Structures are given as structure tokens and as C-alpha cells.
Amino acid sequence: DWTTASIVDEQIAKIREQIGEDGRAICGLSGGVDSAVAAALVQRAIGERLTCVFVDHGLLRSGERAQVERDFVAATGVNLVTVDARERFLTALAGVSDPEQKRKIIGREFIRVFEQAERDLKAEGDYSFLVQGTLYPDVVESGGGASAANIKSHHNVGGLPEDLQFELVEPLRLLFKDEVRRVGLELGLPETIVHRQPFPGPGLGIRIIGEVTAERLEILRAADAIAREELTSAGLDNDIWQCPVVLLADVRSVGVQGDGRTYGHPVVLRPVSSEDAMTADWTRLPYDVLERISTRITNEVAEVNRVVLDVTSKPPGTIEWE
């Protein structure tokens, strides 16, 4: 539509002006809508002088890396470098349970990996710009916008190191999610990317309540894949904003399975409905869908013996648990 087309034109002109005739930029792709749309905009503006970097931080959901490597590259033809940083993130997160500390560590490691990628790309030229898909709500909630309250450090706002080596390019900084989706469609990105439900940059790292370990990630990844599969096959993807699955890794409860007593972990289902993530309501999922998710998770994920439903709106709860 007319307004979206003019946002696109305006942003492309601004990006060209900021990056100049021969500046180069790198963009971290998270697999989410925001970074994909930001990257596609910058690619329109500067073409081959953009290189995208996808960091596999080990905090991804099942199938996510393949989706970025396949769908996004197919749609845009962008230069993509994938970095396997799983060990690095796990090491940096070892022993850390505090949510804000996790977010800061993940934000910092992201940037370090980008800086390394930039050094590796030196042969092609100087990459001095970093593209980020920061949205208006991220800016507000991290205390950089109209509100003074720092609710959470979104990894791409409050989590940046002070000695940042890059100049930031943030073409979505004034937009809300629905506008970003329209811009994505305008740029020709496929529905699978544009209508993808939001997923936080810090990934499963902030959906494990407690320390993040490889074993816990595996448990959560399995439970999350089941929930997503069942929601999709029930045709509910467009009715919910997103449905985080949260592992209460430090909590155990007694259960019974077969002839035996179990002492496993609960997972929380957090289905929410929202317009822009600033406020949200819990989604009234059909009981039969909840039942299928619960039965499958407790049968298929050995360490999980209880599935609970979060029925809190935002406010007072946030969408993510950390």
C-alpha cells in the first residue's frame, strides 16, 4: 500500500545517506521477522555491500538454522555467513541464572561474534556498519524511548557493549511489528518469514528459568517443537501472537508414570494474543489442543512430567518469563 511504499522509499534513502557510496554493513540475522526485514531493506539500499551473519548460539529452536539458510537466502539472494558459536555461548552463560545478566551476556557475545566475522571479512573491504532490527517497542522497553522505565534489556538495545566497534543502522526504530510485516511484504519476503511469530534474540536462553546448560536446552527444544507442531496442525498459528514454552529447570515435582515415581521438571505454556507485544492477553486455547500438547510432551520428553498453563495478561506479566 501507499504508506508502506513510502516508508520503504524513505528508509532506503536514509540508509544510503548513512552508509554512503562505498560503506559496507553486516547484519545479524536472528531468524525472526525484524532482522530479516531490516536486512532486506538494507540490501535494497546497498546491494552486495551487505553481508548477513547468522549466529547459531545454540539457543535456537529446532529447525531454525535450516530455515534461515534456506528461506531467507532463497527470497533475497543475500550474502550469508553462518557462524557456529554454540560452545562460546554455553561457556559464557555457565553458572548464570539472573535474567538481566543472561541478556547482557548474550548481547555482548553476539557483538563479539559479529566483530570476529567483520575481521574475517576484512579481505573484501571495511565493514563499519551494523544493521539491527530494533523496533520502537524495544527502544521504549529498554528505557531509551519516551518511557524512563527499564523493563527488560532487549539484547539489541540495552545489551550492547560500551566499546561497540560499529556504527548502528536501525531502519525499523520507529516502527511497530504490524508495520514491519507490511514493509517485509512490500519488499517481497515470503509469508513464512513475514508472518513468523516473534522469537526473542536471546532465544531459549531466557526460556530456561535457571542456569542454561546443553541438556536443559535439549529438553526445552523438544518440548517447544511439540507445542509448535500441535498448534500449527490445529490451525491456530494466526490466532496467537506467540506461545513461549518455558522450562522451570530448578523446579521439580513428583509424578507417576507406568509403575514408577518420577521427579521431573514442569514446562509452562504461555500462549498470548497481542497487537504489538506492548500489552497481551492469554489465549484461550481449545482444551483438546492443550491436552494433546500436554500428553505428547510428558510422553515424549522424559525429563518433563508436568505441563502448566500461564493465564496471566501483560501487564502484570511480561510475555517472556525473563
Tell me if 61 contacts ligand XMP by CB under 6 A: no
Interface pick for ligand XMP out of 49, 152, 181, 196 (rule CB under 6 A): 152
First to last CA, the chain: 37
Taking the complex as a whole, the smallest distance from the CB of residue 139 to ligand XMP amounts, in Å, to: 12
Residue 305 binds ligand XMP (CB under 6 A): no
Stretch that binds ligand XMP, among 83-91, 117-125, 248-256, 314-322 (CB under 6 A): 314-322
The dihedral region occupied by 31, where left means phi > 0, alpha psi between -120 and 50, and beta the remainder, is left
Q: Residue 230 CB, nearest distance to ligand XMP (Å)? A: 20
Torsion of CA 170, 172, 175, 176, to 10 degrees: -110
Minimal distance in Å, beta carbon 267 to ligand XMP? 17
Report the nearest approach of ligand XMP to the CB of residue 176 (Å). Answer: 12
Query: Is 318 one of the binding residues for ligand XMP (CB under 6 A)?
Result: yes
Q: Quick check: helix, strand or coil at residue 139?
A: helix
Q: Work out whether 320 is an interface residue with ligand XMP (CB under 6 A).
A: yes
Kindly tell me which residue out of 24, 49, 155, 182 binds ligand XMP, with binding defined by CB under 6 A. 155
CB of 152 to ligand XMP, least distance (A): 5
User: Bridge-partner residues for 169, per DSSP?
Assistant: 131
The distance between the two most distant Cα atoms of the chain, rounded to a whole number of Å, is: 71
Half-sphere exposure of 237 (CA within 13 A, CB side): 13
Nearest to 282 by CA among 234, 241, 223: 241
- 158 marked as binding residue: no
Burial of 131 (0-12, 13-18, 19+ CB in 10 A): buried
Least distance to ligand XMP, CB of residue 104, Å: 10
Among 46, 59, 212, 277, binds ligand XMP (CB under 6 A): 277
Question: Which one among 23, 28, 58, 202 touches ligand XMP, defined by CB under 6 A?
Answer: 202
- In the set 201, 205, 264, 266, which binds ligand XMP (CB under 6 A)? 201
Cell readout for 266 is 514442569
Contacts of 172 (CB under 8 A, 6+ apart): 34, 37, 38, 41, 133, 134, 135, 136, 180, 183
Q: Which three cell numbers stand for residue 10?
A: 524513505
Q: Tell me the per-residue interface mask from 158 to 197 with ligand XMP, x by CB under 6 A, - otherwise.
A: ----------------------------------------
Task: Note whether 200 binds ligand XMP by CB under 6 A.
Answer: yes
Site string for ligand XMP, 218-257 (x = CB under 6 A): ------------------------x---------------
47 DSSP assignment: G
Is the distance from CB of 199 to CB of 283 less than 8 angstroms? no
**CA-wise closest residue to 32 among 194, 168, 174:** 194
Residues within the annotated binding site for ATP?
30-36
Instruction: Return binding residues.
Output: 30-36
Query: Applying CB under 6 A, which residues contact ligand XMP?
Result: 103, 141, 152, 154-155, 198, 200-202, 242, 277, 314, 318-320
